[in-house]
Amino acid sequence: MTQCTFSHRCEYRIRFEPGYDERAPGGAITVALCGHWDHEGPCRWPHFSAISPDPSGHHRLVVEFNAPEDELEMVRAKIDAAVSHGQLTGPDGVVSNWAIHL
């Protein structure tokens, strides 16, 4: 099994609205970086998102990714915008909403 090592990391603390799919923020990031969560070929900017609940009722979203130094700020901005947007309609039509908490 090959393990991918990521060079960069972003972390967010988010709070979901009722009826959410916890995969939605990761899907939103993939859409922002790749155009769709179900795309052909490898990602231009390989990335991995993990989400876990914390004791306060929020969730911790960790995004790890690779990008060349000259594209780093643009990729971070795309990730920030996707997470800040706080919404994704999944393939089943369910709309998940969340908000960033500091």
Q: Is it the case that residue 43 has pLDDT exceeding 90? A: no
- H/E element, 50: strand 47-53
Q: pTM for the whole thing?
A: 0.90
**Average pLDDT for the chain:** 92
Q: Is it the case that residue 47 has pLDDT exceeding 80? A: yes
How does residue 1 score in pLDDT terms, banded at 50, 70 and 90? very low
Distance of alpha carbon 7 from alpha carbon 16, whole angstroms: 28
Q: Is it the case that residue 5 has pLDDT exceeding 80? A: no
CB 60 within 8 A of CB 2: no
Q: Rounded to whole angstroms, what are the CA distances from 91 to 12, 27, 37, 80, 83?
A: 24, 10, 10, 22, 18
What is the mean pLDDT of the segment spanning 43-69? 94
Q: What is the pLDDT of residue 6?
A: 84
Helices (H), the chain: 24-34, 72-85
